[in-house]
């Protein structure tokens, strides 16, 4: 698709994410009605309100696009669409419930299986990460880049500590600065802007958790793959991803040396 169409979609995503994010910000700390969709998988009335606003704004402007969202029933008609909105209204719902400013509104346009426009918006910190295919990723309109760190030793890594320190690894990981954030999309965005050097996840994720960060990290000069180095594809019949690694090119290769032959359960 022409670059102009991707840019127009990015403008639409940006406006929609800010407007929907304002709903989440206004409700932050209000103890909204909350329930579990499944064990350990909470949702709030605010997730649904944000989803409704995004649906209204995005499909209202592009009614020929498909729709895939964490908080919408999956419509298989999306599989016949060339362009599809992939949405996570609130990535990091548990952080939202606990009044931690680590949640994000995530929205992307996928064209033939790959993201071409994407935003990740943290309404509490007013950080809006954005990217369009073929142009530099930005944070609040200013270009961003992944770090140039190549060595694992001392690297700033976003990963669960119990995972990286698990005794089952064939080689123990070197000493690193290890932190985490509730929103996996936010973790990817923090790699894109160089605040962290890498992000690793070895547990199953949904497409809506990853897709916006995939484009933003890549347009910031980084790489995003599975733990085996495989490219990630989106708008799949079953929208699950088994693992994800993102980092600058040298760091990404250093990680793959340790992960590409690992068989995940």
Question: Domain 3-143 has what CATH class?
Answer: alpha beta
Share of the chain above pLDDT 70, in %: 100
User: How, if at all, do strands 66-69 and 83-91 pair?
Assistant: parallel
Alpha-carbon distance of 90 to 55, in angstroms, equals 13
Say what the pLDDT of residue 40 is: 83
CATH entry 3.40.190.80 includes domain 156-259: yes
Lookup: tokens for 218:
């890549």
Q: Where are the domains of the chain?
A: 3-143, 156-259
pLDDT single digits (tens) 197-236: 999 999 999 999 999 999 999 999 999 999 999 999 999 9
The CA-based angle 200-22-122, given to 5 degrees, is 20
Which tens digit of pLDDT belongs to each residue from 154-181? 999 999 999 999 998 999 999 999 999 9
Residue 2 reports pLDDT greater than 80: no
pLDDT at 66: 98
Identify whether the C-beta of residue 228 lies closer than 8 Å to the C-beta of residue 260. Answer: yes
Query: What percentage of the chain reaches a pLDDT higher than 90?
Result: 95
Give the least confident one: 21-25, 114-118, 165-169: 165-169
Ramachandran class of 222: left when φ > 0, alpha when ψ lies in -120 to 50, beta otherwise: beta
Average pLDDT on 86-105 reads 97
Nearest Cα residue to 184 out of 155, 156, 213: 213
- Asked whether the predicted pLDDT for residue 1 surpasses 70, the reply is no
Q: Which one, of 90, 107, 100, lies nearest residue 213 by Cα?
A: 107
Q: Specify whether the CB–CB gap between 193 and 125 falls below 8 A.
A: no
**Average pLDDT of the chain?**
96
Which residues, in sequence order, are CB contacts of 173 under 8 Å at separation 6+?
152, 164, 165, 258
State the average pLDDT over residues 96-112.
97
């Amino acid at each position: 698709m022409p670059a102009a169409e991707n840019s127009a979609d990015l403008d639409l995503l940006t406006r929609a994410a800010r407007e929907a994010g304002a709903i989440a910000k206004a409700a932050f700390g209000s103890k909204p009605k909350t329930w579990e969709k499944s064990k350990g998988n909470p949702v709030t009335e605010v997730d649904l309100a944000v989803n409704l606003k995004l649906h209204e704004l995005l499909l209202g402007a592009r009614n020929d696009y498909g729709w895939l969202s964490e908080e919408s029933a999956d419509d298989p008609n999306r599989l016949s669409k060339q362009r599809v909105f992939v949405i996570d209204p609130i990535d990091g719902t548990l952080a939202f419930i606990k009044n931690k400013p680590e949640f994000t509104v995530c929205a992307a346009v996928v064209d033939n299986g790959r993201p071409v426009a994407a935003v990740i918006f943290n309404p509490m910190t007013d950080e809006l990460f954005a990217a369009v295919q073929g142009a530099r990723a930005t944070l609040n309109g200013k270009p961003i880049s992944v770090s140039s760190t190549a060595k694992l030793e001392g690297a700033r890594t976003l990963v669960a500590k119990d995972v990286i320190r698990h005794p089952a690894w064939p080689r123990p990981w070197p000493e690193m600065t290890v932190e985490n954030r509730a929103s996996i999309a936010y973790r990817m965005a923090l790699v894109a802007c160089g605040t962290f050097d890498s992000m690793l996840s070895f547990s199953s994720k949904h497409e809506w958790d990853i897709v916006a960060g995939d484009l933003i990290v890549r347009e910031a000069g980084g790489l995003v793959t599975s733990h085996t180095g495989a490219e990630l594809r989106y708008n799949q019949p079953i929208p699950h991803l088994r693992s994800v690694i993102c980092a600058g090119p040298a760091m990404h290769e250093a990680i793959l040396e340790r992960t590409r032959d690992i068989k995940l359960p």
